[in-house]
Amino acid sequence: NTPAASQDMNIALYRDPTGPILAAGRETDTINYLASDGTYYLRVIWAQYPDGNHPDGATYTYSLDVDLPEEMPSDGNDTLETATPITGSGTTIHSGTGVDWYRIDTLSGEMSFSVTPTAGQNLNFTLHNADGTILRAGQDAAEATKALDYLAGTDDTYYLKVFWARYPDGAPNGVTIDYSLSLRPLVQLRCRDQGMMRVYFVPSSVAPRRSPDWPKITAITGESEVVVSAASVSPRSGVAYSTFAPAAQPGERRKLLSASSVMKNSTWAYCWAPICSPPEPRTIE
């Protein structure tokens, strides 16, 4: 709004003409307002006569420039039904529209997630079960990295929702949510001959473990091959692993079947022959 030199003009933005003012400007000031979809009203008044009762015959002259947002195409994962599948571990960078949904098809076991805002936004994220029910939310201060750990009791599908805390149902058109997403789910893969194997990815960003890990293997009768490896190990210590027979009764001590160690690698893989051939070792960046 730019008035004539001798006039003092004010402007005000409303969602409802009879409701409160959303934003206001004076003289050549510009109103910037982050709008949601809908109809808005702009009122232009002569500051000397705010009630509009200026003298008969008096006019005011001004120019009005309005810049409205253009519709930003969706990035395709704004709903649970259109969630982006996650098939591995590591850190990825995202610039989403509205709200971002991810789908995780995982084995039973612990999953770890963290979201780090990269544009100063207070982002939240929640983990949902296959029905969409919230299971857990990321925890930490505003505009900080938020983390979440969850123990999946069974092989199942889960969903992760990332959103701006100010707009839990989706950021306004034209606004992106910028963040990095780090995750360590358990991922199920298939062998080359369509048999089944399970691979537990441990990305290099995960802190060193100070206590043993106990992955559980559900195998059929037959020869089993186990490949165990680590991203970074001490030349002196290496990484040791053991396999145990299942207990005959609950609480019964398990029998040690074998023990070995490795000095350097990057994944744990369990494959059960003769269903499938052992996979080549994979490194997760």
Residue 199 has pLDDT above 60, yes or no: no
Residue 102 has pLDDT above 70, yes or no: yes
Contacts of 217 (CB under 8 A, 6+ apart): 198, 224, 226, 270, 272
Residues 109-135, mean pLDDT to the nearest whole number: 88
User: When comparing pLDDT for 207 and 27, which is higher?
Assistant: 27
Query: What CATH number matches the domain at 80-185, 3.40.350.10, 2.60.120.380, 2.60.40.10, 2.40.10.10?
Result: 2.60.120.380
pLDDT bracket for residue 132 (50, 70, 90): very high
Residues 39-61, mean pLDDT to the nearest whole number: 80
Amino acid at residue number 229? S
Residue 203 has pLDDT above 60, yes or no: no
pLDDT in tens, 179-195: 999 887 544 433 333 33
Domain with CATH 2.60.120.380 in the chain: 80-185
User: When comparing pLDDT for 106 and 71, which is higher?
Assistant: 106
Residue 176 has pLDDT above 90, yes or no: no
Residue 140 has pLDDT above 90, yes or no: no
High-pLDDT (> 90) share of the chain, %:
12
pLDDT bracket for residue 11 (50, 70, 90): confident
Residue 198 has pLDDT above 50, yes or no: no
pLDDT of 45: 82
Query: How far, in Å, are 57, 145, 209 from residue 128 at the CA level?
Result: 65, 19, 27
81 in helix, strand or coil? helix
pLDDT of 232: 45
Tokens representing residue 74 in the block: 């969706």
SS (H, E, C) 207-229: CCCCCCCCCCCCCCCCCEEEEEC
Measured over the CA atoms of residue 250, residue 255, residue 261 and residue 266, the dihedral's sign is negative
- Other beta carbons within 10 angstroms of residue 102's beta carbon come to 22
110-119, 211-220, 245-254: segment of lowest average pLDDT: 245-254
Q: What is the mean pLDDT of the chain?
A: 69
